[in-house]
Chain A
Amino acid sequence: MGVGITVEQLNAFYGKTQALFDINITVLANRATALIGPSGCGKSTFIRCLNRMHETIPEARVEGKVHIGDLSVYNGTSATQLRRRVGMVFQKANPFPTMSIYDNVAAGLKLNGFRNRKQLDEVVQKSLHSAALWDEVKDWLHKKSGASLSGGQQQRLCIARALAVQPEVLLMDEPCSALDPISTGKIEELIFQLKEQYTIVIVTHNMQQAARVAEFTGFFLLGKMIEFDKTEKIFTNPSDKRTEDYVTGRFG
């Protein structure tokens, strides 16, 4: 089951440059939350703070409190422990190129010391089903490399890989930006099904996509969260003038 996320007074920096300013947000469990805003506004930085990927960049640092369920992200939890509970799908599909399809999905468990062959088989099959990829790859699980799939299939493979470690939250950083409309449609459908089991936070440049998949939407501008509300409200009756300008296409 998914868990909620609370963020209090989050500030993020790259060296001396501040990228995020005093972000406060509460994300509800088992809902999809979209983050929109122009390029460079801090959306990606923000979700990378939720699973501590931000700190893998040299000289990057974070201040503030983040809770994933009852887990305090920046206080006493190791980054590796946290990331097993908070899965991530990246902008560009990044399957492990030298691994088979099966090994790609099993990687998270295998590399964390999980060895039970039978259970691995089950998890791989279940994850590929959840990512709507099973039928397309079931005959090639061990024969083909993850990199041999098409772009849309690779991205769904990455989703399956993230699901296999059974996270509670799934972070998606512009998962469809490199995909054609058909693949995008498949992934959006997937998000719909996945939120029954996971809490989803999705960064997107595509406002129609946010409107289609998310119950809640946050609008970011210049490292600040301008407005956060129900998706319907953001797109039909935003309270902030800047949000309205953005969603109606007057800038950005």
Chain B
Amino acid sequence: MPDNNFNSAAGLVPEFSVPPISLRRRVTDQAMTGVAVLTVLVVLLPLFAIFAYLVYKGIGSINLAFLTQTPKPVGEPGGGMANAIVGSMVILGIASLLGVPLGIGAGIFLSEYGRNRYGDIVRFVSDVLNGVPSIVIGIVAYGLVVMRQKHFSALAGGVALAIMMIPTIARTTEQMLLLVPQAIREAAYGLGVSRWRTTLSITLRTATSGVITGVMLAFARVAGETAPLLFTAFGNQYWNWDSGQPTAALSLQIFTYAISPFDEWHRQAWAGALVLIVLIVSAVAAVRIAVKHGTLAGA
């Protein structure tokens, strides 16, 4: 075969035959694949176990009344958590309105303007804030909002949760913006686009899906928080549409009911936990689908 034996014919590469893949290599390959699959199962198992158990315990108590009525006094059967479901949404809405812009803004600063000592300080403070116990953040919101307003409120709860969201959003936004190649920024500068415009319309836009992942992570994390709401939103057995008044939240309601001595309340606590987890999953899924819908082919 003079044609396809170019290398050895030219004497450039000594001829050799590839040895067959040894049994040891094949076994190792299989074993490593097995380990990888196993770790995935170990990670996913608790999630599914929790979800399955919640469905098992909670689904029986979920009915129209549970989703549309306020709690009934002890001893009266029925009633629901409608006010807590709405309250949770209001508090999370306030938290997102405050926390998302501040967090993304801080992330932009860290990535685009903070490659220096001042940025290092902000990064360090942000990481420390991330590790502060949530109950302590509740106390901060108590001091900042409740003390001034003279009563508990959805606003105070929202502020507490916003403070918890900021470091997560800031650090993920920073990482995602840093992944955007410098060449993309240069392309915009080269067109005569100013730096702030480039950051907002080019860099941030290019990193959108990553930034949203960070926002969703922070949102899901604070959505189930109870401790920071104990003395900020406080909870409420009745409807309340004023964000300056004590407001019910699902997590608080679950907490109150779970530590109560009444069987009916226990059942409702399970149902509340199921509703909460379904709400979080659907919120995250809805945002994901919306983002995917707006993405172009090949982007």
Contacts and interface: CB of A to CB of B under 8 A. Distances in A.
Given A53-B190, A84-B191, A98-B205, A90 B297 contact: no
A81 B192 contact: yes
A148 B298 contact: yes
Interface in A103-125: 107-108, 111-112
B198 to A, nearest CB: 8
B186 interface: yes
Nearest to B299: A145
Nearest to B185: A56
A68 interface: no
Contacts of B63: none
A158 interface: yes
A143 B297 contact: yes
A90 B189 CA distance: 12
B192 A112 contact: yes
Contacts of A147: 298-299
Contacts of B181: 94
A79 B195 CA distance: 10
Contact of B187 (A82, A85, A90, A145): A90
Contacts of A100: 296
A80 B198 CA distance: 11
Interface in B189-203: 189-194, 197-198, 201-202
Contact of A94 (B184, B193, B198, B296): B184
B190 A96 contact: no
Contacts of A131: none
B253 to A, nearest CB: 41
Contacts of A143: 296-297
Given A97-B206, A98-B295, A162 B190 contact: yes
A103 B254 CA distance: 49
A145 B193 contact: no
A158 B187 contact: yes
Interface in A33-86: 51, 53, 56, 79-85
Contact of A53 (B184, B186, B201, B202): B186
A90 B206 contact: no
B297 A145 contact: yes
Contacts of A158: 187
B188 interface: yes
A100 B184 CA distance: 15
A56 B189 contact: yes
B298 A144 contact: yes
Given A90-B187, A158-B187, A96 B202 contact: yes
B191 A98 contact: no
B186 A56 contact: yes
B191 A165 contact: yes
B237 interface: no
Interface residues of A, number: 34
Interface in B260-299: 295-299
Contacts of A112: 191-193
Given A97-B206, A111-B201, A144 B187 contact: no
Contact of A80 (B194, B201, B205): B194
B189 A53 contact: yes
Nearest to B116: A58
Contacts of A88: 190
Contacts of B61: none
A96 B298 contact: no
A98 B192 CA distance: 20
A144 B296 contact: yes
Contact of B206 (A51, A98, A148, A161): A98
A96 B184 contact: yes
Contact of A111 (B184, B191, B206, B297): B191
Nearest to B202: A96
Given A96-B202, A96-B206, A98-B299, A108 B186 contact: no
A242 to B, nearest CB: 31
Contact of B192 (A83, A92, A148): A83
A2 interface: no
A165 B198 CA distance: 16
Contact of A82 (B188, B192, B205): B192
Contacts of A145: 296-299
B208 interface: yes
B260 to A, nearest CB: 51
19 contacts: A53-B190, A56-B186, A82-B192, A85-B192, A90-B186, A94-B186, A96-B184, A98-B296, A107-B188, A107-B193, A107-B202, A108-B193, A111-B193, A111-B201, A143-B297, A145-B298, A145-B299, A161-B191, A162-B191
A-B pairs with lowest CB-CB distance, top 10: A148-B298, A84-B192, A108-B191, A145-B299, A83-B192, A88-B190, A94-B183, A145-B296, A94-B187, A145-B298
Given A90-B186, A98-B205, A111-B202, 19 more contacts: A53-B186, A53-B190, A80-B192, A83-B191, A85-B192, A88-B190, A92-B183, A94-B184, A96-B206, A98-B206, A99-B205, A100-B296, A107-B191, A107-B193, A107-B202, A108-B193, A111-B198, A145-B296, A148-B297
